[in-house]
Amino acid sequence: MKLICPKAVLAENIALVSRAVATRATMPVLECVLLIADEAGFRLLSNNLEMTIETKEIDAEVFEMGGIALDGKVFFDIIRRLPGDDVEISVDAKNMTIIRSGRSEYKILGQSRAEFPAPPDVEKTQPYPVSMGIFRDMIRQCIFSISMDESKPVFTGGLLEIDENQMRMVTTDTYRVSLRQFDLPATNEHPISAIIPGKTLNEISRILPDTEDACDIYFSDNQVLFDLENCILTSRIIEGEFFKYSNVLTKDFVTKIMVNRSEFLGSVERVNIISRDAKKSPILLKSEDGKLAITSNSELGLSYDEVKITQDGQDFELKFNPAFISDILKTLDTDEIELYVVSTSAVSPCIIKIPETEDYTYLILPTRR
């Protein structure tokens, strides 16, 4: 293999595929980036057996076709420190790779292309198009409530549902539930439901641009493929059955309040300043006389703040982990929110929504402390 590629373009694409390079892998080749030059052009590929990222064709002048697997970290460190504008890469029959730019030259031993695991095969027969900007926001507004508990695998991912006219994402860590949905521009005749790993969603949200241009999503029995603007990302699907979230996102309530989102967030953050551990020092929400009083009692002392509200229903007094509230308020792009108290119980869940839309729904369980 022999080619010349602009250094800036090569460095940008290495950074992209590095998101799926394994670290401390039992198979050393998984710590590599695969360079491919063939009839389809020059591309980079990474595969950690959970997720695969393959770039679209990279601008390069290819003189000889071939492929080589190079240590991802070493390769990236070399490329971004080279002095010239262009990089020449050549590989001999023994996998010795020569990298030249300006007056610098490196010789590193690569691994055979045949040793590198091939990406999963997902047929592109049924596309599910979605705006990249909307999908990025959907992930951002749900990912914070994905569980880190590997003993419950189905909760370490986000449920993606596509039915006739809607796309939905649902996440939970068993203490809170996040649901984000939006209407599809065209009727879909092939409903789908899949649990996508949180790590995959996190990487996609970092790659996606904020644009209305569409990316296509494809599914197989155990894989999902995202055809993005500058790469193709393939990921495993988590096996198992997600919980029946519709059973807990009730529309019944005993209290409804309207509150300014930024004022509420500011109050929560101010009260939480003296708390070193949000789990041990929850905040108390108490509604009365047209205001929501917010207090915290920690080992460092007491804090109090309040915010004006419009209330319909009974007064309430509930304790919450402050991070659970602030995580939601930070992700929403709205002036006002609605907070619903489901029952008169001291452990009644609260549901947060945006007025006049069902596209955003969040449930939080109170603490018993």
Look at the chain and report how many structural domains it folds into: 3
**pLDDT score at 149:** 94
Boundaries of domain holding 8: 2-115
**pLDDT score at 188:** 79
Among 84, 115, 146, give the residue marking a domain's end: 115
34 within 8 A of 97, measured Cβ to Cβ = no
**pLDDT score at 276:** 67
Assign 236 to helix, strand or coil.
strand
Backbone dihedral region of 332: left (phi > 0), alpha (psi from -120 to 50 degrees) or beta? beta
The ranges of the chain with pLDDT < 70 are 276-280, 369
Where residue 190 sits, what CATH number does that domain have? Answer: 3.10.150.10
- One domain, residues 226 and 268: no
- In this structure, is residue 122 part of a structural domain? no
**pLDDT score at 97:** 98
- In this structure, is residue 205 part of a structural domain? yes
- One domain, residues 267 and 322: yes
**pLDDT score at 19:** 96
What is the distance in angstroms between the CA of the first residue and the CA of the last residue of the chain? 64
Among 115, 143, 165, give the residue marking a domain's end: 115
With 0.75 as the threshold, say if the pTM is over it: yes
Between CA 248 and CA 162 the distance in angstroms is 20
The H-assigned helical ranges of 114-215 are 132-140, 198-207
**pLDDT score at 106:** 98
**pLDDT score at 274:** 84
- One domain, residues 241 and 258: no
**pLDDT score at 279:** 61
**pLDDT score at 184:** 85
